[in-house]
Amino acid sequence: MKPLNRREVLRGMLGGAAVSVGLPPLEAMFNCSGTAYAAGGGLPTRFGLFFWGNGNLPERWTPSGTGADWTLSDQLAPLAAVKDKITVVSGMSLHTDNVYPHSSGAAGVLTGSNLLSYQDGREDGTFSRPSIDQLIAAEIGGDTIYRSLETGAMPGTVGHSFNGPNNKNPPELSPLAFYERIFGASFRVPGEDGLVDPRLALRRSVLDAVMGDISNLSARVGTADRLRLDQHFTGVRELELRLARLQEDPPNLDACFQPTSPADGFPDVEGRPQISEIHRAMSDLAVMALACDQTRVFSHWFSDPLTNQLYPQATMGHHSLTHDEPGEQPEVNMVTTFIMGELAYMIEKFSEIEEGDETLLDHMVLLATSECSRGQTHAFDEMPLVLAGGANGRLATGLHHRSFTGENVSHLMLTLLRAVGINAASYGVDAGEVFDGLSAIEL
Amino acid sequence: MVKPTFLILNLLLGCGGETDPKKAESGLKRTLPPLSLPSPALRRLNRAQYDSAITSLLGEGLILPSKLEPDVSADGLQAIGAALTTISPRGVEQYEDAAFDLVNQALNENRSELIDCEPERSVDEACASASLSAFAARAWRRPVTDDERSNLVAISTQAATVLDDFDAGLGYGFAAILQSPHFLFRVELGEDGTDGGVRHFTNHEMASRLSFLLWNTIPDRALLAAADAGDLTTDTGLKAQSDRMMDDPRFEHGVRAFFSDMWMLYALDDLTKDPTLFTHMSPTVGASAREETLLGVVQNVVHDDGDYREIFTTTRTFLDRKLASIYAVRAPSREGFAETMLSPDGGRRGFLGQVSFLALQSHAVSSSATLRGKFVREVVLCDYIPPPPAGLNTAIPEVDADAVTLRERVAVHLEDEYCASCHLQMDPIGLGFEQFDGLGHFRRLDHGAEIDPSGELDGEGFNDAWGLSAHVAAHPDLSPCLTQTLVAYASGHSVTRGEDAMVEYLTTGFEYMDHSTRFLFSDLVMSPAFRLAGALE
């Protein structure tokens, strides 16, 4: 029997009688990425965020030497294998308000603006603006199946990827669930001549109806609710677009293959989660999700601000350690160094994916940061900032750039926006706002 | 601020479980204050509400989704977070997965609950229309409009045609209903009345409000019928339904949901303790601890119609074997939970003597006077403690010869004038619980030194946690705090200054009616705070 071409009318695929499903007239929108690959016009620049909670110890973090001639510090030592692929930026500060320990810093570093507290200056609140990953996703995330992907390594992690106020993208914490989402039943191996499931079109009709309901309801509510419904609408529209894409051929990328399924569950060992194992399983999947161009933006929440997780060999939770460990805080140092080891794993995995004559890492930029430097004082100076990847030749690597004047971290963020191809004039709000990038690391 | 408390204490200690006949509400003298009403806001169904609504709509025995948009707490309550947050793109994806999965399960397992007609062919619009209308009216807590009905029928007809299967086609209509904002959000917007600026919740909105508050799920058929009949915007009709609902076993779900949210008992799912230090720790301790607290609350509020203050002073509790081992008492039952009375020897009584509070408001490796004190201050008494200033070195000294116990080590909080301004409001309370370790196990020694659990709460001295619990129970801020939290919970917004008078009005009734939480629920439901809203903004 001649295999059905998916562009032909599908007959009787699910029912007994003849059924016919026309493909939706959406092909035009997919040609952009397909054409880009076919013409060899350069692979798109991808963005990643690696965030960990509770900061570092600046005196054991800052590398010695600056420019291209520098030596890794104690805490950065695990990054030795990828030293020429990273740039460490030290000495920069958050210029936003430091009012609420940890949450102000997270808002400051990820949005360049102040935390919006819920009431009467209470401690909890929301980001007032999209986090950097979503600023970027809004510009470059539109051509892939997923606008962005969010993952976490620590049980209970909530992440801080914000689409806007009170609208957070919750990270996936189970490697198996993440695998099934990206590489499960809906995943089509590039180049395989698959059939289009007629149910995709039916699901899209349902989503159309949901969007209609949202629009009608939106006309009846107050301003704040209208914004919330707009965001809900956006989410539904994105899912509809994703289903439309699944009706098209996936891009044929050499580096893309369907990875093997991770373990089903990572049980605690002696009361402590298997942080490293979970993180590495997530990293492998995130790397392949980018290699398969399922998304061009991801954020990995290694741990949340304020996390009090018990790390391997630590005698107290991480947050307690930063405040209560006396002296030079050897355990805080151990935990930070451990986290950098896990960061190194992820960077190395990206560097192993070949894309043309270079690697995926060369075609992306990964930002690793935290909500403060010294956790004990929730310090905003000496912010920990590590970049990995050359962003398609837009960023210098193998550098230690030191700011001797406590410059605003927002300068670096503006450089990152520009590195992924966004023509941004400024970054941040009020004290966090800047109009210039960090030219020292730009190429 | 602080009133003499002996009378109340005597009353509490003397009543020994016997409940006096309730006072007549008719003796209650108070005047309704001028109204200050919050604008209506959509509220997202939380996880528990989604699950209970699904069970109510699709029948028992389904495998419920493990992943949905997470609940988010704002200003201390998930109920407030539900009125501020929206549905993320990831959430949309999860709700879509869940809708199809649940509908497919239900069509296999409980078909007769969803389809009350026999389709003639794969496409049967009349049968589809009847099934979809009935389902949508329950899921959306209101009658469906003609437009809505025809949209749903069109979806199902298209799908039934493509798939050549009536049931499968109908499944797409059901899935659309479950992804609609009318299901995922509580749409309670009110209508403009004749009294300018004030909005009146409609009958069907009142049904939804009552049901989520009192049962934590969607309305049953009787409540929807009362709304259809227009009863829920009349005093007598509303009272009749709220009485019926509070006499129904499902009232327990509403009470559990409120106390879980107020006391953050949901966080017990992620309880982390170093098992090498806490040998009683196991993955089920958190869930057991929550159950102990909620069984006690349900006993007090639902079964006994008791005095709220007794939740803090009672020696009656409900333990399983795990908790009994932590409390070092004989397990009252081989399996599950059973009632038992604690002896006064250990200083342990009431909610503040339970693992749910003691372990949750502690660190992974130790107790915390500050966290425990902060919880009592902010959550139980509704005081406000500002966050520690940024840039401050918050370290407490390690154990040495001069400072062994936590009290000695945190003394720095109280000696340093800068720290003391806030820590004096928390640490002296928390230190009263120091005879309970980070998991809630009783101890007399900390690092080998005798623990001194004495202290004072707003001028009232105590010797240990036993006495401290009595002072919390008698504290003048206890009742207004419960009232304020319930108002915030029921309406999904942070109570503002303008609403103080309404909180006071309800507190007056609550206190007059012997601190009956059940009365407070009923009183709130009948009050304008529950039936009216401010203008749309």
DSSP secondary structure letters along A247-283: TSPPP--TT---PPPPPS----BTTB--HHHHHHHHH
Question: Which parts of A156-305 fold into alpha helices (H)?
Answer: 175-183, 198-218, 223-246, 275-291
Nearest chain B CA: its distance from A357 CA (Å)? 35
Q: Which domain holds residue B493?
A: 478-533
Residue holding tokens 């109920």? Answer: B79
Option in A17, A209, A228 nearest B176 (CB): A209
Query: What secondary structure does DSSP assign to B156-200, as a single string?
Result: HHHHHHHHT-HHHHHHHHHHHHHHSHHHHEE----EE-SSTT-EE
CA A432 to chain centre: 22
- Residue B137 in domain: yes
- Residue B209 in domain: yes
Chain B positions in Cβ-Cβ contact with residue A163 (cut-off 8 Å): 88-89
Least confident of A15-24, A122-131, A218-227, A416-425: A15-24
pLDDT in tens, A246-268: 888 777 788 898 899 999 889 98
Cβ atoms of B88 and A235 closer than 8 Å: yes
Last residue of a domain, one of B457, B474, B491: B474
Amino acid B276: pLDDT: 86
Q: Give the nearest chain B residue to A203 (CA atoms).
A: B172
> Are residues B410 and B307 part of one domain?
yes
H helix or E strand, kind and range, residue A133: helix A132-140
Sign of CA dihedral B245, B250, B253, B259: positive
| Spatial distance between the Cα atoms of B334 and B321, rounded to a whole number of angstroms | 7
Q: Give the nearest chain A residue to B158 (CA atoms).
A: A202
| Spatial distance between the Cα atoms of A132 and A145, rounded to a whole number of angstroms | 20
Nearest chain A CA: its distance from B316 CA (Å)? 31
pLDDT < 70 positions in chain B: 1-22, 391, 394
| Spatial distance between the Cα atoms of A412 and B114, rounded to a whole number of angstroms | 57
Q: Is A369 in a helix, a strand, or coil?
A: strand
Chain A positions in Cβ-Cβ contact with residue B176 (cut-off 8 Å): 206, 209-210
| Spatial distance between the Cα atoms of A121 and A107, rounded to a whole number of angstroms | 15
> Are residues B266 and B123 part of one domain?
no
- Residue B130 in domain: yes
> Are residues B411 and B363 part of one domain?
yes
CB contact, 8 Å: B93 with chain A?
A: yes
Beta pairing partners, A368: A50, A386
For residue A241, give both structure tokens: 């677009």
> Are residues B167 and B205 part of one domain?
no
pLDDT in tens, A375-419: 999 999 999 999 999 999 999 999 999 999 999 999 999 999 999
The CA-atom distances, in angstroms, between A95 and each of A104, A131, A307, A387 are: 11, 16, 24, 20
> Are residues B151 and B99 part of one domain?
yes
Residue A279 has pLDDT above 70, yes or no: yes
| Number of C-beta neighbours around residue B353 at 10 A | 26
The CA-atom distances, in angstroms, between B351 and each of B239, B284, B381, B453 are: 31, 19, 14, 17
Chain B positions in Cβ-Cβ contact with residue A120 (cut-off 8 Å): 384
Share above pLDDT 70 across residues of chain A, in percent, rounded to a whole number: 88
Nearest chain B CA: its distance from A138 CA (Å)? 13
- Residue B406 in domain: yes
> Are residues B144 and B212 part of one domain?
no
CB contact, 8 Å: B164 with chain A?
A: yes
Longest dimension (CA), chain A: 77
Chain B positions in Cβ-Cβ contact with residue A122 (cut-off 8 Å): 75-76, 384
| Spatial distance between the Cα atoms of B89 and A167, rounded to a whole number of angstroms | 9
Q: Which of residues 314-333 of A touch B (CB under 8 A)?
A: 315-317, 320, 323-326
CB contact, 8 Å: A128 with chain B?
A: no
| Spatial distance between the Cα atoms of A313 and A267, rounded to a whole number of angstroms | 17
CB contact, 8 Å: A267 with chain B?
A: no
| Spatial distance between the Cα atoms of A438 and A427, rounded to a whole number of angstroms | 12
Nearest chain B CA: its distance from A378 CA (Å)? 6
| Spatial distance between the Cα atoms of A432 and A111, rounded to a whole number of angstroms | 9
Query: Please, which pLDDT band fits residue A192 given cuts at 50, 70 and 90?
Result: low
Cβ atoms of B295 and B313 closer than 8 Å: no
- Phi, psi torsion values for B164, nearest 5 degrees: 55, 45
Strands (E), B82-122: none
Using the 8-state DSSP alphabet, how is residue B456 labeled?
Answer: E
Strands (E), A370-425: 385-388, 399-402
Residue A65 has pLDDT above 70, yes or no: yes
Residue holding tokens 């250990």? Answer: B346
CB contact, 8 Å: A302 with chain B?
A: no
Q: Chain A interface, mutation test: which of B90, B142, B363, B536, most A Cβ atoms within 10 Å?
A: B90
Q: Which of residues 393-422 of B touch A (CB under 8 A)?
A: 393-398
A124/B74 Cβ within 8 A: yes
Amino acid B140: pLDDT: 98
Nearest chain B CA: its distance from A225 CA (Å)? 6
> Are residues B120 and B152 part of one domain?
yes
Q: Give the nearest chain A residue to B165 (CA atoms).
A: A15
CB contact, 8 Å: B91 with chain A?
A: yes
| Spatial distance between the Cα atoms of B429 and B464, rounded to a whole number of angstroms | 10
Residue holding tokens 């080891």? Answer: A341
Q: Which of residues 238-257 of A touch B (CB under 8 A)?
A: 238-239
Query: What secondary structure does DSSP assign to A6-57, as a single string?
Result: TTSPP-SSSSSS----PPPS-GGGGHHHHHHHHTT--PPPEEEEEE-SS-B-
CB contact, 8 Å: A202 with chain B?
A: yes
Chain B positions in Cβ-Cβ contact with residue A181 (cut-off 8 Å): 93
> Are residues B482 and B470 part of one domain?
no
Give the gyration radius of chain A's Cα atoms. 23
CA A203 to chain centre: 28
Total domains present in chain B: 4
Amino acid B22: pLDDT: 64
Q: Which residue has the higher pLDDT, A130 or B398?
A: A130
Q: Which residue has the higher pLDDT, A205 or A1?
A: A205
pLDDT in tens, A200-214: 999 999 999 999 999
Task: For B210-234, give one letter per residue: b (16+ CB within 10 A) or e.
Answer: bbbbbbbbbbbeebbebbeeebbbe
Residue A337: CB partners within 8 Å, gap ≥ 6? A74, A75, A77, A78
CB contact, 8 Å: B145 with chain A?
A: no
Q: Where are the domains of chain A?
A: 42-185+273-441
B84/A126 Cβ within 8 A: yes
Query: Taking all residues of chain A, what is their mean pLDDT, rounded to a whole number?
Result: 88
Amino acid A120: pLDDT: 59
- Residue B78 in domain: yes
CB contact, 8 Å: B366 with chain A?
A: yes
Cβ atoms of B348 and B465 closer than 8 Å: yes
Q: Give the nearest chain B residue to A317 (CA atoms).
A: B364
| Number of C-beta neighbours around residue A293 at 10 A | 23
Q: Give the nearest chain A residue to B77 (CA atoms).
A: A124
> Are residues B374 and B337 part of one domain?
yes
CB contact, 8 Å: B339 with chain A?
A: no
Amino acid A194: pLDDT: 67
Q: Chain A interface, mutation test: which of B43, B272, B279, most A Cβ atoms within 10 Å?
A: B272
Amino acid B403: pLDDT: 83
> Are residues B316 and B168 part of one domain?
no
CATH number for region A42-185+273-441: 3.40.720.10
CB contact, 8 Å: A269 with chain B?
A: no
pLDDT in tens, A13-49: 333 333 333 333 333 333 333 333 333 346 789 999 9
Q: Which residue has the higher pLDDT, A150 or B192?
A: A150
> Are residues B357 and B455 part of one domain?
yes
Residue B170: CB partners within 8 Å, gap ≥ 6? B107, B114, B115, B128, B131, B132, B156, B159, B160
> Are residues B303 and B224 part of one domain?
no
| Spatial distance between the Cα atoms of A329 and B395, rounded to a whole number of angstroms | 11
Query: Please, which pLDDT band fits residue A193 given cuts at 50, 70 and 90?
Result: low
